[in-house]
Amino acid sequence: MAGDVVIQGDRLVLRPLRPAEVDAEWQAMVAEAAGPVVRSFPPDEAAFRARLAWSGQLRDGWLDLAIDLDGTSIGRIQTFVPRGRALPPGTFDVGIGLREQARGKGYGREALTLLTDWLFEHAAAEVVEAGTSEANHPMRAVFHRAGWTEDGTETAEGHEWVRYRITRREWQAMRP
């Protein structure tokens, strides 16, 4: 795939992170790791920064993009390969994090919809999936509003996660 991934929406642009934004993303990751609904540990800082250095490029199931509103990053959306779990070909796991001031305004749903559409249209996705804490009711609502379905639970990284997914066929049936 040539060039960086840039996905234009009605209000948002999903784009590569700028070098100056990497520190803010690391700080957000550390803060989220200490929170009650996201995860119990931050990733390795050097590996995280190295990965963000190629933000905007899909590599081996990994893609990191800024969620941009009017030229400012309000969060990050990514695809990733879960630690200790190989993904079948055509399957992508998604993660998303919005800054607190950007939550509750529909940006999460728009970003999730934009990335899901791009994965099915440009990355040969057959299934897009994600997990969230049972207590993360706002994120669970985003998945439902975006047309994803709950697909059970899983224990990983010391937490119980509610899994959501959508298939290519389901996505195409929802598209106008």
Q: Catalogue all structural domains in the chain, each as residue range(s) with its CATH number.
A: 7-174 (3.40.630.30)
Average pLDDT over residues 127-136: 93
- Is the pLDDT at 48 greater than 70? The verdict is yes
Closest of 142, 139, 128 to residue 171, by C-alpha: 128
The CB-side HSE value for 89 (13 A sphere, CA atoms) comes to 1
Q: What is the pLDDT of residues 137-157, one digit of tens each?
A: 999 999 999 999 999 998 877
pLDDT for res 40: 47
Model confidence, pTM: 0.89
Phi-psi category of residue 103: left, alpha or beta, with phi > 0 → left and psi -120 to 50 → alpha: beta
